[in-house]
Amino acid sequence: MRERWLVKPGSRVDLDRIDTSSTPGLKGGQDAALAAMESHLEKLADLQDRLWAEAKQALLVILQGIDASGKDGTIKHVFRGVNPQATNVTSFKEPTAEELAHDFLWRVHRAVPKAGEIGIFNRSQYEDILAARVRHLVPESVWKPRFAQIAAFEQTLVAGGTTVVKLCLLISKDEQRRRFKERLDTPSKRWKFRRGDLDDRARWDDYRVAYGQAIAKTATVAAPWYVIPADHKWYRNWAVGNILIETLQKMNPRYPDPPDLRGVRVT
């Protein structure tokens, strides 16, 4: 199932050719997606429990997407049944003074999950290519080598027992406009809106090109990219759930063998 969203290493990525409102692989529409989510939650909870008990592997889930693409919503809905003890969410915002005093991967490496955990990155090291490039925060001579540096970093994580899954949530410009307007019109959602979001929206085409190149340059067998049409939130959640379940099933975490309990009695 997850192959339908997979970006093959070495392939050219043109995000404009992807229909962001499409629902490939799903039969039955929204009702089917919502019904499947309960099963997804149970399967994820079971697989995470095994991962936590085994404590030999880790899973890092990287969520990328333009503003309002649904990163927060994905975390809220797809992971709502997992054990908080074994799950860590890190949101990468503008670097602090301390973070800027180190190499750009320093703050990222500090946040990777330990053995037995699922780590979720809301944005990630890719901001140091995407935002840095589009906003001209650093020259090309700085951001361009980061493709190879990030790929090498991810390979190091994989070699150490961390499975890396990278998810690009893709929405249309019209859908982003609708979600921004909803935030402005809904008092309980206004806190999400930043004036800077409109600055980035004005750079829509530049971000689209930057995302496509970043995905193409860093899609590897070891750390795959998946591009998910995300105009429909229910489809996004269904697709992400499928990818994570299949990934964890391939990792095949197992409960450890129990100790020798012969003669043990509970009184």
Supply the pLDDT for residue 51: 98
Please indicate, yes or no, if residue 262 is contained in any of the structural domains. no
The pLDDT of residue 196 is above 90:
no
Q: Check pLDDT > 90 for residue 208.
A: yes
Whether residue 214 is contained in a domain is answered as: yes
d(CA 214, CA 202): 20
| 237 sits in which H/E element | helix 233-251
| Structural domain count of the chain | 1
Q: Which domain holds residue 60?
A: 2-251
Is 266 a member of any domain?
no
Of 253, 245, 254, the C-alpha closest to 43 is 245
Please indicate, yes or no, if residue 257 is contained in any of the structural domains. no
Q: Is residue 267 part of a domain?
A: no
Task: For residue 45, name the pLDDT band (cuts at 50, 70, 90).
Answer: very high
Kindly report the pTM of this predicted structure: 0.96
Residue 244 clears pLDDT 90, i.e. is over it: yes
pLDDT at res. 177 = 97
Buried b (16+ CB within 10 A) or exposed e, 93-105: eebeeebeeeebe
Paired with 6 in beta bridges are 226
Q: What is the pLDDT of residues 104-157, one digit of tens each?
A: 999 999 999 999 999 999 999 999 999 999 999 999 999 999 999 999 999 999
- CATH number of the domain residue 146 falls in: 3.40.50.300
92-97 contacts, C-beta under 8 A, 24 or more apart: 92/121, 92/122, 92/123, 92/124, 92/125, 92/127, 93/123
State how far the Cα of 2 lies from the Cα of 132, in Å rounded to an integer. Answer: 30
How many other CB atoms sit within 10 Å of the CB of residue 107?
18
Res 1: pLDDT: 86
Question: Is 139 inside any structural domain?
Answer: yes
What is the average pLDDT value for the chain, to the nearest integer?
96
Q: Is residue 256 part of a domain?
A: no
Per the structure block, which two tokens stand in for 144?
Answer: 């361009």
Share of the chain above pLDDT 70, in %: 100
pLDDT classification of 69: cutoffs 50, 70, 90: very high
Of the chain, the percentage scoring pLDDT greater than 90 comes to 95
Tell me the pLDDT band of 62, cut-offs 50, 70 and 90.
very high
| Spatial contact of 230 and 169, defined as CB atoms under 8 Å apart | yes
What average pLDDT does range 151-169 have in this prediction? 98
